[in-house]
Amino acid sequence: MAGTEGLVWRTARRFTRGVDALNAWVGQFAMWLLVLMLAVLVWGIASQAIDVRSVWVIEMAQFTLVSYYLLGGAWTMQRGVHVRMDVFYSHWRPRTRSVVDSFTSVFLIFFLVMLVVGGWESTAYALDSGQRSRSLWRPYMAPVKIIMTTGMALMLLQSLSELCKDIARALGHPFDTANT
């Protein structure tokens, strides 16, 4: 491929490799959040046994779980291990899958853009107002909202990366993604 068309494919390939590498790193980091959540829950159980009140345990475990699945969502999509309705999909040729995935990705991208915009506005509000949880512990909400919005933005980037790969496969120019 030469000229502008070659530049478009090289740019798309560079974009997908960069996004895939970023989300692989974030996803591998997110796996460790389960260990943190386990430690928090073990502390909650142990603190009850020694009669120490820990009002923060349940909410901290919830925040950690939210961080885990939102930061790990893009990596899950990249690896193709998310839940999919597989009644017809598994019987299609790879090129047909890519065409259908390209079409449905548009709706996913629209949805994720709305989530990122809403998350951005909610995060800005939490930062400006010093928003706190209504629980007894009353932690600031901005950190968890920043993590949530970041996770949704990473999922949006991964969706765009997957769309680039699907279009390339559908047009007969699959990207080499073995090293990402």
* pLDDT digits (tens), the chain, 180 positions: 456 778 888 999 999 999 999 999 999 999 999 999 999 999 999 998 888 888 999 999 999 999 999 999 999 999 988 777 778 888 889 899 999 999 999 999 999 999 999 999 999 999 999 999 999 999 999 999 999 999 999 999 999 999 999 999 999 888 865 544
Paired tokens of 135: 């629980």
* Res 85: pLDDT: 72
What six digits make up the tokens of 86? 């597989």
Structural domain boundaries in the chain: 3-170
Looking at residue 16, its pLDDT comes to 96
pLDDT at 19: 97
Q: What number of other Cβ atoms are within 10 A of residue 28's Cβ?
A: 11
